[in-house]
Structure 1
Amino acid sequence: MTTLMDIVKKKIKRPGKISAVCLMLFILTITPLAAYALNVNAAAVSNTRGKKQAEKTDSKKEDEIHLLPVAEPESAPLPDQNEPVYEPVSHTQDNFFYRKTLKGIYSSTDLYFYVEDYWDTKYVYAKIQYDVSQLIESAASSVTFAINDVPIQSNKLEYKDGNSQILYVKIPMDQVRSGYNSFSISAYARLFDQQGCVDDYSDANWLGIADTSYIRCGYESRDPEHRISFYPYPFMSTYNPTGKGLFIAVSDEAASGEVAAAMSLMADLSKQTGKRNEIELCRISDLKSNSPSDTILISDYNNLPAEYKDKMTKAPDSSGNAIVNFIDDSNLKPLLLITSNDDSSLKEAADMLMDESRRKQETGNLAVVEKGSGEQAVNAAKQSDLTAWNYTLEDIMGSGLSFVGPFHQEKYVYLPVSRDFVLAQGGKVVLKFRYSENLDFKRSLITVFWGDVPCASKRLSQEKASGDELNFEMPADVIGTSAASLKIAFDLEIPDLICTPRQSDMPWAYVSRESAIFLPPAADMRLSFDSGVSPFSRNGKFNDVLLVIGDNPTPVELNLLGQTLAMYGREAKPYGTILVKRAGEFNKDDGDYNIITAGTLSGNTFLAQVNNNLAFQFSQDGNSFESNDQLILSREYAGKIGVMQLLKSPYSLNRTLLVLAGSSQDTLKNLEDYLRDSSKREELKKDCVVIDANQNITTLKFIKAEEVKEGPTLAEKLVRNKKSLVFTVIATSAMFLMLFAVIIILLRIRVYRKKNEE
């Protein structure tokens, strides 16, 4: 066989030294490519073998399609319409359904409810208010209930003159577990007319679940036994959802590390407060002026009063470790004391309490948090942020998705993204699925929705029933939008549907647990109160937040900042960045952060530095605000308002400054009260809000360029495009070497010809 090298030798005839160099270069050019090809081929073979092995393992795990058995309608009992009677308990917790309509012959829905570790649960039952189609045949229709996939009750379905019906389901306590529980409702609804079955009209056989339906848990609260693992109980509980009576206190010195840790815990605890947040931030001296209360006390050990030091189980040593001690105060009320000889370690102790996996390990009343113990988690989070946008169904749900029954079936995949998430370009979905072979393949298909926006569809085929795939990139019209879920819908049409099919004959589809979703977050930032928690929170964690407080902050100022962080930390996770500086310590070199500040002109000197940047500037005496071209203020009104304003930071590009300003402590208190109400937070719009003494608001827009473009970092680009980048580098290098070798060969031929001509 004639090789390329033989051809080159024949053309050159007498290659000599130069041609030998050319050949060496040629070999050097070909060798890496060959090696690369061999590696790629070997990797492909290995991947294929691994994939086949994984498929074998996966098929063993997932061959069983989740099919909740339905009762024979003829033998199903009538619903129990009497509310269960139990012994009285101290507390109940209701979990309400969203309004839901189940359509088709076989359809189901789930409600998830949570049982806390500190509950001594006495009973659980469900109240279901429902409506059914007037066309269903009661002799052939039933509904089945299950707890954690275990069937517990079935009832006959029948139409009752257009009236809503109520039934009760007693849930066995031996099937209820701590943590999340799923309550499933599966309807088997058939349609008949005088000639027989008309189930092809799939929208006509429906069961509607009203949003007045709920699951009720009756419980007594357990003794916390001073166990840190129970945190945030008893300081926060389901029977005190506002946090009323809880104080988070710092020392009277209000050291920076103390305030940073207190603000982190404030944001974390506020996730459970619901409609109103009554948690108070204060100094130790303020505790004495209040009635006995539950207290979380955060203090540098040197700033801790002797009365608290004497109560501690163990004092911190000189290593800088932090101590978390759950004890009782002098009024025998719960006291969680966090202290250290190193001010910077207090935030690490707060992160430990926020990190459930670490907190659950602390089953006693004393925990030692080693200095630097959180750094590993912080660094791991930074590294994983670049790849954390890759999910599988197993990551999200722990299993695949089952679809059972003819006609339209849909299920939701609730995405593990934070509220500040916005989809960037490059999002991708790879679904691997299989389905039954008794379908009408001309009419059966799969559709995927981003929220409620359809993104891609594919028709099912008999040839690929045992292993099909839908692979697509997110369409351009959903880039820059957010969604809480992906909806996957199958239309499973069957030819010649008989009137009474056995359940085993029902069509089915299964989306494998290894199906993948890639959701890169957009880095665009819009400065507006109605844009969610951005830019102060990113990926669920505080995003380089610097709090600038007055040199002698008041309880009102601390609480106002605490409520602000509660608003921006609605999904607060541990290991976010929160720093605190006194106004007198701040200089412009410290400004590469997203800054939040609060106070009056006289109490917070930082406000004097940024006064010229404000839309509503302080008057010269600081007792009121000046008018501007959008709002003329009367003299009296100008002294009774508080102002919240978002600004592009004057200290750093693509950073934000949030100013919460008032002319007095009363106006700041009014801002604080406003932010305690979660429903009022939703009214905040645009980039500037004026709040008067009656908590009436005026929203204004002063930022002309709303978008602050913040492109992806180099590391993000490498992660997103690493395959393309590797291929480009290799291909470019190979082409360059080949070109270089060809040029040398051509030059050698030309020199050789000139010598022959001479």
Structure 2
Amino acid sequence: MIKKQLLLWALCLSLFLSLLPAASAAAVLPGAGRLTYETAFTGSDTALSGGAASQQLFTIMDYWNVDSVKINLHFQVSQITKDQVSSITLSLNGIPFHSFRPSLQNNGEQIISITAPKGFLKKDSNTLTLQGDLKTAVDNNQVCYVDNSPDNWLHFFNTSSIAVTYSSKELTGGISDFSGRFSGIDTVKNGKSLITVPEQATGAELESAAYALSGFAKENALTDKTIAMLPYREDSIKDRSAVVLVAMYDRVPAELKSRLSTAEDLGTHALIQLLNKDTRPTLVITSQDESLLIKAGRLAASTELMSQISSDLKVVDDATQADEPAGSISSEVTLTESGDTLTGPNHREQSYFIALPSNRSIADSGKISLDFRYAGNLDFTRSLVTVSINGTPIGSKKLTRELANGDTLTLTVPKNLNISGNFSVTVAFDLEMESAVCTPNTEQMPWAYIDKESLLQLNTKDRTDLLFNNYPYPFLRDGIYNHVAVVLPQEMDDYAYLSLGNVFNLLGQYTDGNTGDIHFYTDDVSADNLKNNNILAVGSYKNNKIIRDNNNKLYFRYSKDGTTLLSNEKISIEEQYGAELGTLQLVESPYGSGRGFMAVTAVNAENYYLASRLIASEKDKWKVFGDGVAVDKDGNVSAYRFKTDTGAKQDSALEQIVERSDVLGFVVAVVLTIALVLVALLLLIRKHMKKRGDRRET
């Protein structure tokens, strides 16, 4: 009887649930509208020995409503760790929030998830610190603890991650809000942002789009993802959440044109207008005047200017200020604005990032002047400070009790470091304690302080060798576009647009200002237009005349019918294999001395697109060196150096002196001294001759 009643109740309940509307079930789904962005631990696996700490950075975007932050740890501890006295502590932005004792089960390997407090988060960059306090020996008398640091290791695998669950805020701001989302890490990572132009875009449309793409790419914080460029079509935009369209006004699609402002004369104005905020936000850059369309593209390339536009519409005319000049290269760089304190025993480091244009390298006579002080209770027989550049030590100094309240260190930057572009300076203190074996570990003692008077005297020189080692030179010089002429294939398919987008993604990340110039040409361009430009030719032997005309100057040359690439002195190429190779080739321009010619080329478009991906982001840039690079469909990359003389114009002695302010001052002083000596000698000779004349008269 009871069983029959239970069965009857179950049938009634099932019937009731089946009658509920489907919308009610969807409404109670957990996590509806929520997204998760996961940041993997950077680099390779991290090893922490003893009480060392490791830091992992992650970003919180301004437009995120954060629901939770979860730390997913995959790690292993030494198998002889004493788990009852060892611990691991997690801190968020310097505030500890969780400690636990590692387990020795499963050979010391463990996977755990820990929820971090939202209240400790900051906008933009956040720091997760992992502190290991591992012990492999315990003193039975509990008086003094001795440990062997190589044995007490803690190993975090790069499968560890920081997962942020969030929902996106409504796009209530204007152009500045859109710009931040367009280059946001979640938008770019998921391939949701897109730069578009009309089908068979004109030179002015592509030039304006290239500037705009450069600005958005510069704000892209991801080193392995890019912002695509494609023609504006329904199939190319349907899965995107943020779109930029750059087009002459008469080529703007009707559904967008009907929403554009009609208050301005587009013959004398350009518009940067945000449309469709509630559906698919689209930023339209348009004008009836080509020069104003290009100017509007330059303005879009300025992160600073775009961040200041809170409205949905920006009108550009001849009087609009759009240029953002490149920053100057200072000969003296302050390492720290307000001073930095390092606390705790043993090895402590402070790193400083130095920004330098990619075509600049450190010249001779660079110096680092370090002003610092430190605790007076150190073991001065073992304590020292070491300075490194890009991980290479350049000098050390022993710490002394007498100079603890004010010490200095001056080091010359070695000539053989061959540093170009951005680099880092690391100041490391080894703060060893007296009787450290029995000294309790404390984060506040001992300490060292790096004073704000610490300076890097930076002398630089231009790297003008036509090699991919110096890329993006020659297309960028000191952070601005350096007379760039892009020669397009006869037919622009999606691969051609994507290849252009790849090239300007990486170039954009290296820009420092929106000046300089880019021009786009079809392959029937005259030699006069290419004479004073650095040429970027995209296409194949058959669809790009500039590549075809200069085939004999390439390192990977085409066969007479253009159906395959031929063997050369570096590599033997089978006919079918040569038909599937994509290449990057950097040669001296055949149209003007001192200029470069880069061919992004292959027999078919799909393969030259594969080649363009090598110079699309920092992730693959390291694979590209020498002056000729080949990649096959399986992703195998081969880089070669063909020319011994790179053909680049070298700086004259006068140019090198002018660039070195210290040498210039010395030369001027010497010249003035010599001039004064010569004037004095002339006056003495004149006086002496006059006296001789007087004696003859008497």
TM-score, structure 2 normalization: 0.80
Q: Displacement of 1:456 after TM fit?
A: 0.9
Aligned pair partner of 1:671 in 588, 608, 619? 608
Counterparts in 2 of 1:463 and 1:89: CA distance versus 1, 3 Å = farther
Question: Judging changes above 3 Å, is the alpha-carbon distance between structure 1 residues 478 and 586 closer, same or farther for their aligned structure 2 residues?
Answer: same
1:582 aligns with 2:530: no
- Tell me what 1:656 maps to: 596
Query: How far did residue 218 of structure 1 move?
Result: 0.6
Counterpart position of 2:238: 292
Equivalent residue for 2:417? 478
Per the alignment, in what secondary structure is the counterpart of residue 729 of structure 1?
Answer: helix
Query: Secondary structure of the residue that 2:405 maps to in structure 1?
Result: coil
Residue identity matched to 2:333: Y
Call closer, same or farther: CA 1:87–1:633 in 2, change over 3 Å: closer
Q: Does 1:366 align with 2:313?
A: yes
Contact kept, 8 Å, 1:584 with 1:605, in 2: the verdict is yes
Contact 1:113–1:180 under 8 Å retained in 2: yes
Letter in structure 1 aligned against 2:591: Y
Residue 258 (structure 1) aligns with: 205
Q: Which residue of 2 aligns with 1:610?
A: 550
Which moves more between the two structures, 734-743 or 579-588?
734-743
Q: Is the 8 A contact 2:188 2:227 kept in 1?
A: no
- Tell me, yes or no, if structure 1 residue 385 matches structure 2 residue 328: yes
Distance 1:611 1:528 in 2: 19
Q: Deviations over 1:376-426 (max 9, x none)?
A: 522xx1xx4332x6432336xxx5433222233233334434666643333
Are the aligned partners of 1:251 and 1:303 in contact in 2 as well (CA < 8 Å)? yes
Query: Cα offset for 1:255?
Result: 2.4
User: What secondary structure is seen at the aligned counterpart in 2 of 1:462?
Assistant: coil
1:449 touches 1:456 (CA, 8 Å); kept in 2? yes
Residue in structure 1 matched with residue 170 of structure 2 by the alignment: 223
Deviations 1:419-454 (A, max 9, x none): 666433333222221101112223221011122321
Compute the displacement of 1:459 (Å): 1.4
Q: Distance in 2 between matches of 1:512 and 1:120?
A: 39
Shift in Å at residue 338 of structure 1? 0.4
| Higher mean displacement: 339-348 or 636-645 | 636-645
Matches of 1:187 and 1:719 in 2, distance apart? 48
Match of 2:535 in 1: 595
Partner of 1:427: 366
SS at match of 2:658: helix
* Alignment partners' CA distance in 2, 1:350 and 1:299: 10
* 460-469 vs 432-441, which moves further: 460-469
String of CA shifts for 1:506-563, please: whole Å, max 9, x gaps. Answer: 2211112342224445423444446553433445554432212246644443333322
Q: Is the 8 A contact 1:242 1:279 kept in 2?
A: no
* CA displacement 1:643-672 (0-9 Å, x = unmatched): 442211112233211123345xxx113321
Question: Which 5+ residue runs of structure 2 have no aligned equivalent?
Answer: 1-29
**Residue of structure 2 aligned with 1:325, choices 263, 273, 283:** 273
Q: Distance in 2 between matches of 1:479 and 1:683?
A: 18
1:146 corresponds, among 63, 86, 91, to 91
Give 1:693 shift. Answer: 6.7
Contact 1:670 1:695 in 2 (8 A): no
User: Equivalents in 1 of 2:308, 2:388: separation in Å?
Assistant: 40
Q: Report the CA distance between 1:298 and its aligned residue.
A: 0.6
Please, what TM-score do these two structures have when normalized by structure 1?
0.74
Superposed, 1:380-529 pairs within 5 Å as 381=326, 384-387=327-330, 390-394=332-336, 399-417=338-356, 422-480=361-419, 484-497=423-436, 499-501=438-440, 503=442, 506-529=445-468
Does structure 1 residue 174 correspond to structure 2 residue 111?
no
- Matching residue's letter, 1:385: S
Q: Unaligned regions of 5+ residues in structure 1, if any?
A: 1-85
Flag the 1:189–1:614 CA change in 2: closer, same or farther, 3 A. closer
1:353 to 300, 304, 322: 300
Change in Cα spacing, 1:539 to 1:90, as seen in structure 2 (3 Å) is farther
Distance 2:503 2:453 in 1: 40
Q: Distance in 1 between matches of 2:670 and 2:569?
A: 60
Match for 1:256: what amino acid? G
Amino acid at match of 2:596: T
Q: Which residue of 2 aligns with 1:115?
A: 60
- Which residue number corresponds to residue 683 of structure 2? 744
- Corresponding position of 1:60: none
Corresponding position of 2:39: 95
Contact 1:316 1:340 survives alignment (8 Å): no
The Cα of 1:234 is off from its aligned counterpart by 5.3
What is the CA-CA distance between 1:743 and the residue it aligns to? 5.6
1:623–1:408 CA distance, 2 compared to 1 (3 A): closer
**1:364 alignment partner, SS class:** coil
CA deviation digits over 1:183-227, x for unaligned, max 9? 233455677535743558665665544433322211112222473
Q: What is the CA–CA distance in structure 2 between the aligned matches of 1:169 and 1:400, rounded to whole Å?
A: 34
Q: Distance in 1 between matches of 2:132 and 2:581?
A: 57
Aligned residue for 1:658, secondary structure, equals strand
User: Bigger shift: 336-345 or 637-646?
Assistant: 637-646
Evaluate the alpha carbon distance shift between residue 513 and residue 628 of structure 1 in structure 2; reply closer, same or farther with a 3 A threshold: same
Q: Which amino acid in the other structure matches residue 472 of structure 2?
A: V
CA distance in 2, matches of 1:502, 1:114: 32
Aligned residues of 1:549 and 1:580 also touching (Cα < 8 A): yes
1:688 aligned partner, one-letter code:
G
C-alpha separation in 1, matches of 2:225 and 2:444 = 52
Change (3 A) 1:432 1:243: same
Shift of 1:739: 5.4
CA contact (8 A) 2:194 2:227 kept: no
Shift of 1:244: 4.2
Distance change >3 Å, CA 743–CA 218, structure 1 → 2:
same
Alignment partners' CA distance in 1, 2:628 and 2:677 = 62
State how far apart, in whole Å, the 1-side matches of 2:597 and 2:97 are: 56
Secondary structure of the 1:344 match is helix
Verify the 8 A CA contact 2:461 2:656 in the aligned structure 1: no
| SS of equivalent to 1:488 | strand
Contact 2:176 2:306 survives alignment (8 Å): yes
The answer for the alignment partner of 1:725 in structure 2 is: 664
Rate the CA distance shift 1:238–1:403 in 2: closer, same or farther, 3 A: closer
Quote the Cα distance in structure 2 between the aligned partners of 1:693 and 1:137.
51
Structure 1 residues 416 and 134, CA gap change in structure 2 (3 angstroms): farther
Indicate the SS of the match to 1:231.
Answer: helix
Distance 1:216 1:361, change over 3 A: same
RMSD: 4.1
Provide closer, same or farther for how the CA distance between residues 737 and 413 of structure 1 changes in structure 2, counting only shifts above 3 A.
closer
- Partners of 2:463 and 2:470 within 8 A in 1: no
Q: Secondary structure at the match of 2:362?
A: coil
Instruction: From the superposition, tell whether residues 428 and 143 of structure 1 become closer, same or farther in structure 2 (CA, over 3 Å).
Output: same
Instruction: Indicate if the aligned counterparts of 2:353 and 2:422 stay in contact, CA closer than 8 A.
Output: no
Matches within 5 A, 1:5-20: none
Q: Which digits, 9 at most, give the CA deviation of each residue in 1:586-612, with x for residues without a partner?
A: 333533222101234554333344234
SS at match of 1:490: strand
Fraction of identical pairs, as percent: 26
